[in-house]
Amino acid sequence: MRAPTAILLVVLAGCAPEVEPISENVSSRDLRIDVIASDEGSGATAKIELDSVFGLLRLTGGDTLRVTMADAALPLREAETDRGTVYVAEFEALTEDLLVDLQRPNDRDPRQIALVPPPFTLTAAGISGAEPLVIGWDADPGEHELSLGLTGKCILPIARSLAQDVGFYSIAQAELLHTDPGAAARCPLTLTLTRTGTTQSDLNEGLGGWFYARTVQSRTVEVSWSP
Amino acid sequence: MALVALWAAPAEAQLAVAADPSTEELERAKEERALVEWIRLGLAGFYFRGTKLVGYGSRKPYHGIAGGLDLTVARFPIQSTPWFGFEIDFRFGGVTLDNDDGPDICLEGAALVAPARWRGAWPGSFTLGLGGGVSRARPVWLPTAVQAYPLALARLRLWPSRVVSLHAQWRFTPVTTDLVDDLLVQNHEVEVAVGWKALLVAARCRIDEVTGGDPVRTYRGVGCGPFVGVALYL
């Protein structure tokens, strides 16, 4: 490349027209919709991102986003992050699958369902004597991943994936490794059980675009540990 | 006077006069050809900006610069049919668009018809043309490297004086071979020029319209720039 052309390119690159990340400039076939929804037992949130080659998009040009659960629309608000605009809904509980519907007057209307693992109640009896830690919850053999976590100041944290969602699990005291010789022999523990559902599909029936959803049901209980 | 002389002369002389055009007629024919013919050579520059198709149907702004040599030859060579002629236009230069650059080449030809030529205070002519061309894709962001197309043109020329000339031209491309990619590409180019003797200075503007994508949109680009060169009126 000769010097005059290189100079021209530098000048043009320095004052290149700005690309506005708005939805009316992006085809539905060039769009990726990401949904992250979670429920930790005391309220649920769903965050929706409209991603493109121009970054996260803000809805313009008459485009509207609608998220419904059990035929009820969730109230969405626009929020700004360092990556761009996201749409957030805060509601009481994540109980059913989410229907995500992008309505566009001048383009295809993508509509997809984010599968949600069922909610559950987590119970755990305290640990005493030489008894194991017994954990119970509402079983569901669905298409989701199940993981368990146990933490405490006196033990090394435990993190496990459970292959079957059968509703109970136990951890023997021999598996609770102390952090160091100076740590207390016993301490209160925090137990967390998480169901994670993932949905991935073409956004426009094989014509392009992508839909990704990650939905999480998580419950935490405190476990006492006494002699 | 010439008609009276023709009637009074003997038959042989009449035949001889009818066969050889007079110097005055030759001069007039030459002046009338100069109203429509020329060879024009110069340098042109162009700054353009607009929106382009990205992905399946998304829209992104762009801008760029083009420039180079421009040679045009317009001739009406057949004296028995002075209304009809031809034009050849060759452009060679370079173009930069965002992060891309490369050569910009164009070769066009057209059959011309000059339905109006007039003399008087402001001599002039009006020329129409139909033809075609091959060039680097215009706008340059199109996926194909080369495009072919038909074109139509109209040109108006006026001479307010013997040394000053005014020119206006419109050039239109209704469709290109980009149609095979489901893209309808149309270009309009308008030029206004002022000449002083052989020197010619012009301003050109071009509008590119590309319709296609999913959803179907029209992507427009507008460019303007100067032309400076010389024009020889044959």
- pLDDT at site A16: 67
CB distance B213–A27 less than 8 Å?
Answer: yes
Question: Which tokens in the block code for residue B188?
Answer: 């309009």
CA nearest A210: which of B218, B55, B219? B55
Q: Are A163 and A120 in contact (CB under 8 A)?
A: no
- pLDDT at site A174: 87
State the Cα–Cα distance between residues A60 and B51, nearest whole angstrom: 18
pLDDT band at A17 (very low <50, low <70, confident <90, very high): confident
Provide, as residue numbers in chain A, all residues whose Cβ is less than 8 Å from the Cβ of B215.
Answer: 27-28, 106-108
CB distance A17–B59 less than 8 Å?
Answer: no
- pLDDT at site B188: 97
CB distance A17–B49 less than 8 Å?
Answer: yes
From the list B57, B62, B98, which residue is nearest A30 (CB)?
Answer: B57
More confident residue, B32 or B174: B174
Contacts of B21 (CB under 8 A, 6+ apart): B29
- pLDDT at site A3: 52
- At B146-170, the pLDDT tens digits run 999 999 999 999 999 989 999 999 9
Measure Cα distances from A196 to A126, A150, A161, A213 in Å.
26, 17, 11, 10
CB distance A54–B98 less than 8 Å?
Answer: no
Mean pLDDT (whole number) for A149-166 = 94
Best probe of the B interface among A24, A29, A204, by most B CBs < 10 A, is A29
pLDDT band at B26 (very low <50, low <70, confident <90, very high): confident
Measure Cα distances from A195 to A35, A135, A149 in Å.
16, 15, 12
- At B108-135, the pLDDT tens digits run 999 999 999 998 889 999 999 999 999 9
Mean pLDDT (whole number) for A32-39 = 98
Contacts of A47 (CB under 8 A, 6+ apart): A35, A36, A37, A86, A87, A88
Residues 154-193 of A with CB under 8 A from B: none
A13 touches chain B (CB under 8 A): yes
Average pLDDT value over all residues in chain B: 89
State the Cα–Cα distance between residues A132 and A172, nearest whole angstrom: 4
- pLDDT at site A214: 98
Measure Cα distances from B42 to A147, A175, B4, B47, B138 in Å.
75, 87, 49, 17, 21
Share of chain A above pLDDT 70, in %: 93
Minimum mean pLDDT range among A113-117, B4-8, B18-22, B146-150: B4-8
More confident residue, B234 or B135: B135
Q: Are A56 and A21 in contact (CB under 8 A)?
A: yes
Residue type at position A154 = C
Bridge partners (DSSP) of residue B150 are: B132
Say how many C-beta atoms besides its own lie within 10 A of residue A134's C-beta. Answer: 14
State the Cα–Cα distance between residues B224 and B76, nearest whole angstrom: 30
Provide, as residue numbers in chain A, all residues whose Cβ is less than 8 Å from the Cβ of B64.
Answer: 12
DSSP state letters, A20-75: P-BGGGS-GGG-EEEEEEEE-SS-EEEEEEEEETTEEPBP-TT-EEEEEETTEEPP
Minimum mean pLDDT range among A146-160, A168-182, B83-97: A168-182
B57: closest CA of chain A, how far (Å): 5
A7 touches chain B (CB under 8 A): no
CB distance A53–B63 less than 8 Å?
Answer: no
Burial class (CB in 10 A: 0-12, 13-18, 19+), A44: buried
Provide, as residue numbers in chain B, all residues whose Cβ is less than 8 Å from the Cβ of A30.
Answer: 54-58
Question: Which tokens in the block code for residue B189?
Answer: 């180019």
Mean pLDDT (whole number) for A141-146 = 93
pLDDT band at B29 (very low <50, low <70, confident <90, very high): confident
| pLDDT at B63 exceeding the cut of 50 | yes
Q: Hey, CA dihedral for B187, B193, B197, B198, is it positive or negative? A: negative
Say how many C-beta atoms besides its own lie within 10 A of residue B53's C-beta. Answer: 22
